[in-house]
């Protein structure tokens, strides 16, 4: 939340979904639902009675101050944490107790806040790991590469992985070891790996953290494309309010593990409680909240 004006997105890509999408998204079915989720670690209440729904095809952002429970919430969706109380539903099915590895096959993919690539593998192999639940060859048929059809299967998936590589423009680092890449590229490879899962719901934990302006613009563009062209429902945690307000259909605000607001970006932005908790008051000299109006002129 620096006071810097939000950069305009380059090119004609930005068709401002802020205005158009919520209308049709509101009629869409709910793909994910949290009902009264509580998460406690000993005496720490990470999440307190959080309920919300994510509609199919939506770009849903979770914002809030540091330590508000955003990542905990995403961990409850991806299965990393199991809520102490409450239930989570995915595609109408109770997945509260389901292990993360089963959720991948069900259609939940994610990226991590701190880089979580397989550092010693090539970029290509990293993305191929994302195909794990879609591939069928195993430790018996895999070694018999040529005889068992494993080769054919691997190559057909390689084809699809290359599409993702093209989409994210990481062709040049295809064969590079993931651990040697720059931060921005690693973030992009992680996104590629999550896309390779072919998820219906993709969770992005601070996809733009630590990126420069240009990288942020590119990433925002990829996320919008994911949502609009690939038809994935996106849940995003992000601190860059310019991006959040710009591309999200709906926003949820957490503070101290509690949900304090949910709705269209403009509504949330106008909510006095959200301003107090996160965005900062108007009378503040630095006026971080002023970033949003400034940005609107640009968009």
Partner 1 sequence: MANVSIIPSGDFKTSYGTDTTIFPTTTSRNFAILGVILLLACPAFMDRFWLNMLIQIGYLGIAALGLNILVGFTGQISIGHSAFFGFGAFASAWLNNRWGVPVALAIPLAGVVTTGVGLLFGMPAARLKGLYLAIATLAAQYILQDFFARADWFTGGTNGTIAEALTIFGFSFDTDERYFYVVLVAMVVMYILATNLMRTRDGRALVAVRDHYLSAEIMGINLTKYRTMSFGISAFYAGIGGALYAHYLQFVSVEGFTILFSIQFLGMIIIGGLGSIMGTLMGTAFMVFLPEAMQALTKLVSGTAIDTALNLKDNIAFLREMSIGLVIILFLVFEPDGLAHRWKQIKAYWKLYPFSH
Nearest distance from residue 22's CB to partner 1, in Å? 29
Secondary structure of the chain in HEC code, one letter for each residue: CCCCCCCCCCHHHCCCHHHHHHHHHCCCCEEEEEEEEEEEECCEEEEEEEEEEEECCCEEEEECCCCCCHHHHHHHHHCCCCCCEEEEEECCEECCCCCHHHHHHHCEEECCCCCCCCCCCEHHHHHHHHCHHHCCCCCCCCCCCCCCCHHHHHHHHHHHHHHHHHHCCCHHHCCCEHHHCCHHHHHHHHHHHHHHCCCCEEEEECCCCCCCHHHHHHHHHHHHHHHHCCCCEEEEECCCHHHHHHHCCEEEEEECCEEEEEECHHHHHHCHHHHHHHHCCCCCCCCHHHHHHHHHHHC
Is 104 a binding residue for partner 1 by CB under 8 A? The answer is yes
Query: Whose Cβ is closer to partner 1: residue 133's or residue 239's?
Result: 133
Is 197 a binding residue for partner 1 by CB under 8 A? The answer is yes
Query: Whose Cβ is closer to partner 1: residue 172's or residue 273's?
Result: 172
Query: Whose Cβ is closer to partner 1: residue 193's or residue 216's?
Result: 193
Query: Whose Cβ is closer to partner 1: residue 199's or residue 265's?
Result: 199
Q: Cα–Cα distance between 129 and 108 in angstroms, integer?
A: 15
Is 52 a binding residue for partner 1 by CB under 8 A? The answer is no
**φ, ψ at 42 (rounded to 5°):** 60, -120
Query: Whose Cβ is closer to partner 1: residue 150's or residue 279's?
Result: 150
Which of 135, 266, 290, 299 is close enough to bind partner 1 by CB under 8 A? 135
Choices 13-21, 130-138, 244-252, 286-294 (CB under 8 A): range interacting with partner 1: 130-138
Query: Whose Cβ is closer to partner 1: residue 165's or residue 268's?
Result: 165
Which of 16, 51, 99, 171 is close enough to bind partner 1 by CB under 8 A? 99
Q: How far is CA 204 from CA 168, 236, 261, in A?
A: 15, 5, 20
Nearest distance from residue 106's CB to partner 1, in Å? 9
Nearest distance from residue 271's CB to partner 1, in Å? 33
Which of 62, 76, 117, 289 is close enough to bind partner 1 by CB under 8 A? 117
Is 112 a binding residue for partner 1 by CB under 8 A? The answer is yes
Q: What binding mask, one character per residue, do residues 240-279 give for partner 1 by CB under 8 A, x or -?
A: ----------------------------------------
Nearest distance from residue 73's CB to partner 1, in Å? 15
Is 177 a binding residue for partner 1 by CB under 8 A? The answer is yes
Is 210 a binding residue for partner 1 by CB under 8 A? The answer is no
Q: Please answer whether residues 113 and 71 qualify as being in contact, where contact means their C-beta atoms are separated by less than 8 angstroms.
A: yes
Is 91 a binding residue for partner 1 by CB under 8 A? The answer is no
Choices 49-57, 85-93, 156-164, 207-215 (CB under 8 A): range interacting with partner 1: 156-164
Is 171 a binding residue for partner 1 by CB under 8 A? The answer is no
Which of 66, 175, 229, 297 is close enough to bind partner 1 by CB under 8 A? 175
Q: Please answer whether residues 6 and 242 qualify as being in contact, where contact means their C-beta atoms are separated by less than 8 angstroms.
A: yes
């Amino acid at each position: 939340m620096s006071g810097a004006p939000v950069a305009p997105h380059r090119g004609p890509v930005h068709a401002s979904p802020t205005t158009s999408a919520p209308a049709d998204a509101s009629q869409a079915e709910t793909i994910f639902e949290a009902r009264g989720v509580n998460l406690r670690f000993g005496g720490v209440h990470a999440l307190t009675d959080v309920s919300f729904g994510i509609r199919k095809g939506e770009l849903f952002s979770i914002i809030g101050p540091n330590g508000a429970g955003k990542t905990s919430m995403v961990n409850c969706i991806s299965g990393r944490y199991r809520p102490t109380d409450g239930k989570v539903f995915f595609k109408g099915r109770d997945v509260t107790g389901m292990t993360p590895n089963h959720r991948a096959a069900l259609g939940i993919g994610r990226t991590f806040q701190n880089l979580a690539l397989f550092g010693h593998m090539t970029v290509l192999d990293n993305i191929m790991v994302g195909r794990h639940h879609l591939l069928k060859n195993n430790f018996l048929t895999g070694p018999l590469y040529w005889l068992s059809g494993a080769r054919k299967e691997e190559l057909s998936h390689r084809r699809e992985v290359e599409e993702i590589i093209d989409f994210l423009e990481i062709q040049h680092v295809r064969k590079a070891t993931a651990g040697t890449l720059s931060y921005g590229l690693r973030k992009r490879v992680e996104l590629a790996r999550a896309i390779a899962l072919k998820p219906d719901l993709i969770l992005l934990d601070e996809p733009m953290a630590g990126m420069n302006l240009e990288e942020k613009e590119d990433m925002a563009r990829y996320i919008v494309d994911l949502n609009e062209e690939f038809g994935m429902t996106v849940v995003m945690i992000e601190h860059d309010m310019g991006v959040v307000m710009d591309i999200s259909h709906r926003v949820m605000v957490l503070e101290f593990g509690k949900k304090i607001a949910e709705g269209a970006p403009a509504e949330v932005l106008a909510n006095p409680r959200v301003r107090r908790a996160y965005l900062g008051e108007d009378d503040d000299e630095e006026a971080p909240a002023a970033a949003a109006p400034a940005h609107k002129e640009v968009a």
